Amino acid sequence: HRGPHLRAIVTDVLKLVGDASVIRLSQNKPPLHYFDYFLKLDWEVAITHPGERAYRTADELIGAAAKQDEGKAPPSVTRNRLSAGTFKIKEFSSEEVPLDGQWQLAVKVKKPCSIDGELNGLAEGL
């Protein structure tokens, strides 16, 4: 596909609370892997062209902030953001692995896609 693409990226770790350890009880047995976390991440969906980076580098973000009023950081790390939000896993734990192996994500859309139609549906689905 040669046209524009939608890309979903994680832009920040907002909260990571918990711990992990590897416990070896015996040389004859494999080690036990334990983890228990609360995890919350920021995400953005952006439109890009093939081979183009979806995010801006630190230098690009600093340059954009210098051009804006009061030197505030840009609202997005992507060039062409369509939507943004957070997702979290409240109980990301080795003791409570879901039967299907997939932890439930609580998704919140903070900046919905302002474009109506099919593109909006694709951005939200991504």
Overall average pLDDT of the 52-79 stretch: 86
pLDDT value of residue 19: 94
pLDDT value of residue 22: 94
94 pLDDT band (50/70/90 cuts)?
Answer: confident
Radius of gyration of the chain (CA): 19
Enter the tokens of residue 107: 């998704």
Kindly list the distances between the CA atom of residue 95 and the CA atoms of 4, 28, 41, 58, 99, in Å, as whole numbers in the listed order. Answer: 42, 23, 22, 38, 12
pTM flag (> 0.75):
no
pLDDT tens for residues 2-59?
788 888 999 999 999 999 999 999 999 999 999 999 999 999 999 888 888 889 999 9
